[in-house]
Chain A
Amino acid sequence: MTPQGSILRSLTLLLAGVAAVLSILSWLIVSDFARRAVGRAQDNVLAASVTSIAETLRAEMGEVQLELPYSAFSMLGAISEDRVFYRIVAGGRLLTGYDDLPGIAEGDLEIGRVAFATDDYAGETVRLASATRIVAVGGDPVPVTVTVAQTRAGITQVASDLSRRAALISVVFFCIAVLLSAIAARASLRPLSDIAGAVARRGPSDLRPLHRRAPSELSPLIKALDRLILRLAESVRRSEDFIAEAAHRIRTPLTTVRMQSELALREADTDADRERLRRIIRAVDESSRSAGQLLDHATVAFRAEDLVRDPVDLSQLARRCVESIRPTAQMRDIGISLRTDPAPVRGDAVLLDTAVRNVLDNAVKYSPQATDVLIVVGQSEGESFVRVRDEGPGLGTGDFDDLTERFRRGPTAVDHVGSGLGLTITRDVLRAHGGRLVLENCNDEEGNGACVSLILPSG
């Protein structure tokens, strides 16, 4: 399953996008604000300058007199290093200053009020402030207009410095916001990953409901998960029940048939009848065996799906199997010897028991009377093994691995009841555990016979 995008990433990107938009927006606002503020500061100083000059206007000896106060210009120098120009016109005639300095349209001028304009002068943009005052010269009212201009380069510089600083702050804010977004996204997704972790950590057969406290958005998911788990648990239990039930249902009538057949055999009069009944008994045995092996096979397939990995010691497991098969062996005068070293593995004890039992069963079944079966359990090169060798006919010639195919029986199987599933089951169990089955004929000083090894990774 390839993941389709990541909530964490898209959430982080989304939040970062929002942060970027906000950062740019705030930068634009601050820049604009700085420009306005600086512009207003310049206007205020220009107005103060104009006013302070206008205040010195007076009539003296029949002419308009004034004194440019030092502060009128020095205050302009205080806000920025900008060029300063001025013009004072009395009654339409230049009194002092820069004659070609543009003025402010007559209409915009109002007595006693400072008017502003932006214009070009001396190759630069200038901000102009102008005020008109009436001075009475010899009884005649003479309008005197004081205009002070300052270039904008310096204050534009100040504004763009502020804007640059604002940009820097915005970038820092953005970085912090992205960091916080990532943290926030991670924090809000934590319940989800907690649940995923809780589910992942579970053992394969742990089918209890989750019963977790989760944020309200996630509780539908939890509930759905819990329902699914419940259904799964139910269906697993039903399958197990069904297998057990099926085995029981097949075996019980077969047992009855066998018992009746045996009774009939004892009472049979003719050799032909006896022969016929023996065949029935044998067929019943085969059916019974086949049913048992089919069930085991199904169990293996079922349990291997979701393998339990418990610590199991093969030496103890082998000992139990030997004890359970010894009565059968003794009937045919077959001696079983066991040589064990600890051989720990991780796996499903039930399945491993089935595997070992099938191999032992073969050894006892195909060995002639009064022979020995040797079982060696141990560990070598990180692998645990159970080796079963007998003194029987061996596995014959040809490819032994064919014997692990379903329902495949070898040449030695004649006269022996069996289904051909034993080695299949064994191989499937070992594969599910990451191990392997090795089939050999051993021809050495200890004699001939089959030598079957179950090899599993130690654990």
Chain B
Amino acid sequence: MLKLNGLKLLHYKNSQDAQTVDMPVPAVVRIPMVQHMGAPCVPVVKPGEEVLAGQLIGKSEQAFSVPIHSSVSGKVKAIEDYVASSGALVKRVVIETDGQQRWIDGTPRTVSTQQELVDAARDAGIAGLGGAGFPTHIKLAYKDVDRIDALVINAAECEPYITSDYREMLEYPDDIIEGIKTVMKCLNITKAFIGIEDNKPEAIALLNQKVQGTAIRVEALKSIYPQGAEKVLIYNTTGRIIEEGEIPADKGVIVMNVTTVANLHRFLTTGRPLTHKRVTVDGSFVTNPMNVRVPIGTMISDLLEFAGVDCQMVHKALMGGPMMGTALDTLETPIIKNNNAILVLDEAHARIPKTTACIRCGRCIDVCPMNLMPAALEKAYDQQDTERLETLKVNLCINCGSCTYVCPAKRNLAQKNQLAKGLLKRK
């Protein structure tokens, strides 16, 4: 079997022993109407209206969208526009909390068919919680369901610092296993793999114990970045290669994040949709790294205050991991569903290194998991040579950042690839 390229990173899993703590409900939450890939939701509440925790506050008529629920009980103060970190103008519902955290009456449900599962996933409000934010119900609604024979659970968590999936595995292993069983039952899938990087031996041991007597297998994967990238994970657990233009289901595989599947199960047993998210708070100067269960819509500044982080020290704030996360321009940004970490960097770590000439050392080529040639791609982009960009398959770049990471000349190779993709699209 061919070995995919990858990269050894320092793990910085400082927060791995930090048990999840609940963040007290903040005075105000601002819940964005886009927290997923796809069509934005339209608010279904008006200013002045009272809402309960778990109540539907935004939805869309379009299929490729995920409904949004209030994470708190309180009163809707306003519906405002803001610029999301993606750069898009998005509406958000501002709710003043009443501090009582009254919940909707959730009704548990049982599901046994694909349609019921799809509906449940949608009503649960879940969208790829690992970071991508792809609507889960769309994935589960794959037409040719008979083709699907394997469920891959992404528990690799290959990004440095982040331990929120790890804590899910240690704290809620049963939710995970039950969730997997439900998906397997509804889609008639015969085997499931939980892919975990081998730097998490405790989670591997615990889940191994839990899967005794089931068709679920725990796969200990090498801690080689980007092990959690979908195509890499599928290959390393099932040996299947997802070809250009295919989605995993075309090769009979459905991939779900470990926290996603656990949340699905919790929705089925409690009737309460996704309203809170576990977020790792850590960074270069954080002395007390934490895992915090945060009401969605909480401002990052409130979260950092709760976590005791000195915001004056922050020179760079990241939503997500250091390899693929997004740098924020302000801490006045709400936590959304697919956030799994807020990382803060001090001045020394935030500094952007100076770019020098490519020395053709080949390091970028050696690490690319997709076996691309980043140095050649960069040259092609600089020459705006679209034909060459196509031949070199820039569209297969998963933006994992490995090439930029290793480049001794500190060239922004991954970024160039994203620009190149834009160039091809415009063409």
- Tell whether A pairs with B: no
